[in-house]
Structure 1
Amino acid sequence: MKKRISAALLAMAMALSITACGNGEKTKDETTQATEAAKVTDAAKAEEVSFDSLKEEAKGTVVTFYGWGGDEKLNQWLDNTFASVMKEKYDITMERVPMDIDQILSQLSGEIQAGEKDGTIDMIWINGENFRSAKENNMLYGPFADQLPNFQDYIDPQSEDVTLDFAYPIEGFEAPYGKAQIVLIADTAVTPELPESAEALKEFVRKYPQKVTYPALPDFTGSAFVRNIIYEICGYEQFLDMEADKETVRAAVEPAMAYLRELNPYLWNEGKTFPDSAPTLDNMFSDGEVVLNMTYDAYGTAVKIADGAYTETTQSFQFDKGTIGNTNFMAIAANSGNKAGAMVAINEMLSPEIQADRYETMKVIPVLDNSKLSREQKEAFDQVDLGKGTIPQDELLSKRLPEMPAQLVVLIEEIWAEEVAGK
């Protein structure tokens, strides 16, 4: 907030200096400038007091954070590091509630329909079609993002990673949490070649029959892999503004569906069945049952190598044409009983210190605009060792492809089930 206060004081000083240079009588222009300076000052003070009042209101309260709980390393970080910061800085107790997003939205919908004004859900880890559905059904509080000092100071408000969620306008109803990007993973001691195109992947699958597969859709990672194949074969531009008509989408993706059907006979279990989830595929890869893995956790390979789950020769890679990336977000329930506490917590999650710690501890791609950071803040990110088996960040992000509209994702998952699964 210092920047806004300084700007306001500067405006006031300029107005005073103009008045002092006159003959003691204010001209019309001088009066206007003085009035405008006063307005700027009042606005800055009101904004400062507003967030200060939120912190005061949230002091001593509990904030519930609902989201997927399948990442134990993340769970520990939230329970220990982030919760400790929130308690020490704001006297706010963070309560993490692990739950699948479908269950979260079902619970939230039930509470809203029952007229519960002080609901049990405060913060929600959300994105994609779930965000679209929740926003369109008035289940979320907002807009709130532009009221957060750290959002204003460190986020690029023009970036599509912040303005769009699976091509759907966010309009301040959620704030960025972390960036994700799909990568493929292989052990170079087992498979020295790393397929960097759909065509090369087809040859790879034939060379290692029954040793490659992907999670069954609608698993989040499996769905992203299929969309990436669609982008490789069909291009991606046409999907960014495509009508959400199933037959239109079916015709557009048919070349990719044909490609996937060609893979089936060479896949694990001959493509008759697929692993039920990304964690299941990860276990199969770790156990050597398959030779190819995939994840949205772009730097997760380094963490798995450090933990001993992957060999030292494991390497993540991406297609030459790029891989799909998206941002996951934090939203606030429309009937949250502690909106002030949720906003303070989300604001803290966007601080350079917390984002740098997430980057170092869990290798999560930061959401901050590097150009808005101070030299010291930039150094904190630059000094992070991403570890073994990872793609350099500049290279990774240079091949980052946009997500298609969320309503198309659902249709593609249905089409895959009809055209590819078990064929």
Structure 2
Amino acid sequence: MNKRVIILLLLISILMIVLSGCGNQNQTEQTQTSSENLLETETDWETILKEAEGQTVNFHMWGGDERYNRYIDEFIAPKLKESTGVVLNRVAIQDTKDVMNKLNNEKSANKTDGTVDIIWINGENFKLAKENELLWGSFASQLPNVNQYVDINAPDIQFDFGQNTEGYEVPWGKAQFVFIYDESNITHPPTSFEELGEWMEENPGKFTYPAPPDFTGSAFVRQALYETTGGYEQYLEPVNDIEQDFTPLWNYLNEIEPNLWRNGETYPESLAKLDQLFSSGEVWMTMAYDPGKASSHIEQGLFPDTTRTFVLDGGTISNTHYLSIPYNSNHQAGAMVAINYLLSPEAQLAKMDPEHWGEGMALDPSKLDDVDQKKLEELDLGIATLPAEQLAEFKVPEIPANYVKVLEEGWFEYVAKR
């Protein structure tokens, strides 16, 4: 082969590489443009559905409760795929903070092809994600089911631990802190933290709580804060510099410690561990940020039939939890379609059923049609679930997000290390 032919072939090869690179660049730019267009109000839902079809969406969520896992894997995922062609892949995590750290690292490395498409999120994690620009954008108004069924301006939906959601996340469910007990061992459950302390003195070793930063353990500490320091009202406004004196809280938690399970020398590392202790009868109470959990666990044979729930006379903390899309999700259209289905009456009513989850829905009941309202009225929430009216009567708001880390660090410093 002569030199001219070789040179010509080399030139052709170089030209093909250059053209290929340009094509990839154009494709990347088109994908990016498409991603940005999805947030524009003029992008119709049919366009989003078409782009989403065939996408596999990675849903990162806490995997510590088998009810939640089965609900996603056995109910949501098959129906979503059948109706939209979107494949939902549940990725179990232990703590949402781990996902926040992953996204922060990817942001620092300018990684645009992330593997997280949907996050189950609220509170401090949402605050951090929003402040560090880890979320994709304000997508809530693009979802038909949000527009049709959600009262997006309701204070308990618009504000997440004091943070304005601004459409960066959409509500997935509502929860309220409850105590769970076995009525075969406890005839009259305590109605305050003072009575709880007295009960522990009479029944040493039969109560404990998960060590923060476990979500429910942290909620227990926040619940104790309200009662030991004079109520929740003083904490409602977010502040940059927290100067309150939490000494009464630390004093109370230290006073009850000798009467806790194993004399308070160790704490369950998770709510799942505490539930195991309750199920085996080693402790006589557990707790949940989920009023329907006890009924669901009875249904599944995990808790005894004599399990019941109670709330305190001073009220128990309630909040809304949300779904959001990371800034570098590869499948924003699929994520939007999946979240939209998770907010459908079908999915939300199934989620309320104790056989699936047993949690309060994020939809406004008055916005449901007559058929779905009748289904809601006929839904059996279970023998251990308190009536919605009672829960509403004893509901108090969550503390702003910037208190959470301070309280968790304070617990470790003034209780765990003491």
TM-score tier after normalising by the smaller chain length: 0.7 to 0.9
Aligned to 1:339: 332
The reply on whether 1:238 has 2:237 as its aligned counterpart is no
Matched residues in 2 for 1:376 and 1:124: separation? Answer: 31
Aligned to 2:249: 256
Partner residue of 1:143 out of 132, 138, 141: 138
Aligned to 1:289: 282
Aligned to 1:28: none
Matched ranges for 1:59-208 at <5 A: 59-100=53-94, 101-208=96-203
Cα distance 1:105–1:243, how it changes in 2: closer, same or farther (>3 A)? Answer: closer
Contact 2:119 2:325 in 1 (8 A): yes
Matched position secondary structure for 2:287: strand
AA aligned opposite 2:319? N
Matched residues in 1 for 2:289 and 2:167: separation? Answer: 24
- The size of the alignment, in residue pairs, is 375
How many Å apart are 1:401 and its aligned residue?
Answer: 1.2
Contact 2:113 2:329 in 1 (8 A): yes
Contact 2:239 2:402 in 1 (8 A): no
How many Å apart are 1:83 and its aligned residue?
Answer: 1.0
Matched residues in 2 for 1:324 and 1:201: separation? Answer: 17
AA aligned opposite 1:213? T
Cα distance 1:418–1:110, how it changes in 2: closer, same or farther (>3 A)? Answer: closer
Aligned to 1:27: none
Aligned to 2:342: 349
Contact 1:244 1:408 in 2 (8 A): no
AA aligned opposite 1:91? G
CA offsets 1:310-345 (integer angstroms, 9 cap, x no match): 211111111011111112111001011111111111
Matched residues in 2 for 1:222 and 1:107: separation? Answer: 24
What fraction of aligned residue pairs are identical, expressed as a percent? 43
Aligned to 1:10: none
The reply on whether 1:276 has 2:276 as its aligned counterpart is no
Matched residues in 2 for 1:185 and 1:244: separation? Answer: 35
Matched residues in 1 for 2:72 and 2:119: separation? Answer: 14
How many Å apart are 1:66 and its aligned residue?
Answer: 1.1
How many Å apart are 1:117 and its aligned residue?
Answer: 2.4
How many Å apart are 1:99 and its aligned residue?
Answer: 2.0
Contact 1:239 1:405 in 2 (8 A): yes
Partner residue of 1:306 out of 299, 305, 314: 299
How many Å apart are 1:48 and its aligned residue?
Answer: 7.7
The reply on whether 1:55 has 2:49 as its aligned counterpart is yes
Q: Structure 1-normalised TM-score?
A: 0.85
Matched residues in 1 for 2:265 and 2:239: separation? Answer: 31
Matched residues in 2 for 1:143 and 1:47: separation? Answer: 11
Matched residues in 1 for 2:327 and 2:417: separation? Answer: 42
How many Å apart are 1:400 and its aligned residue?
Answer: 1.5
RMSD value, Cα: 1.6
Matched residues in 2 for 1:398 and 1:142: separation? Answer: 35
Contact 1:213 1:268 in 2 (8 A): yes
Unaligned runs of 5+ in 1: 1-45
How many Å apart are 1:102 and its aligned residue?
Answer: 2.6
Matched residues in 2 for 1:210 and 1:93: separation? Answer: 47
Q: Structure 2-normalised TM-score?
A: 0.86
Matched residues in 1 for 2:368 and 2:305: separation? Answer: 34
CA offsets 1:351-384 (integer angstroms, 9 cap, x no match): 1111001111211110111111122111111111
AA aligned opposite 2:335? A
How many Å apart are 1:114 and its aligned residue?
Answer: 2.8
Matched position secondary structure for 1:408: helix
How many Å apart are 1:103 and its aligned residue?
Answer: 2.5
Matched position secondary structure for 2:360: coil
Contact 1:272 1:422 in 2 (8 A): no
Matched residues in 1 for 2:200 and 2:210: separation? Answer: 15
Matched position secondary structure for 1:238: helix
Contact 2:162 2:401 in 1 (8 A): yes
Contact 2:238 2:402 in 1 (8 A): no
Matched position secondary structure for 1:343: helix
Matched ranges for 1:272-421 at <5 A: 272-360=265-353, 361-421=356-416
Contact 2:162 2:238 in 1 (8 A): no
How many Å apart are 1:245 and its aligned residue?
Answer: 3.2
Contact 2:316 2:394 in 1 (8 A): yes
